[in-house]
Amino acid sequence: MLNVGSPTRTVGTAASAGSPTERSRAELGLPPKAGQARRTRKARLRLSRLDPWSVMKTSFLFSISAGIVLVVAVYAIWTVLQGSGLFESVNLMIGSVTDAPNDTTPFRIEEYVNTPKVMGVAALIACVDVVILTALATLGSFLYNLAATMLGGLEVTLAED
């Protein structure tokens, strides 16, 4: 939840609205009559406080989605690497360097690095990522609240053309 200070509305244009009907057209959002300039509406808002609970919930959801993206991306890349024949090439290259003439078992990299191990590491990294990103975002909201207390917060000006 964002705490926003009271908005200050500033209206300024090159031309001013003359009659009450012209003002009501502008208030209704209708375009001005021909030959009149449009008024620009501006609102100045001050972001004075962030609710840490809302920041934590939002960052948790974003972190979970980032973790899911990480796991899916690792699986996709791993599948492409398996399909490309990379592991067979690595087995041949390492086997040509390390195999002895009377060795009966060839070197297989899949015994050391396989799909369940890679996906397990990716899931572990995703879980740690969720915890760390959620904690950092929540801590950031507390730090922002402290800074906004002393400095007044962030001021944003919204303008309509």
pLDDT tens-digit series, residues 42-63:
898 888 899 999 999 999 999 9
Per-residue pLDDT, 19:
53
Please provide the average confidence, as pLDDT, over all residues in the chain: 83
Q: pTM of the entire structure? A: 0.66
The SS3 call for residue 154 is: strand
Per-residue pLDDT, 142:
96
For the chain, the farthest-separated pair of C-alpha atoms sits apart, in whole angstroms, at 103
Per-residue pLDDT, 99:
72
Total structural domains within the chain? 1
Contact indicator for 120, 57 with CB cutoff of 8 Å:
no
Whether the predicted pLDDT of 41 surpasses 90: no
% residues pLDDT > 90 (the chain): 45
Q: What is the DSSP string of 46-63?
A: EEEEE-HHHHHHHHHHHH
Q: Which residue has the higher pLDDT, 29 or 92?
A: 92
- Boundaries of domain holding 75: 2-160
C-alpha distance from residue 102 to each of 92, 99, 106, 114 (Å): 17, 8, 11, 27
Per-residue pLDDT, 15:
45
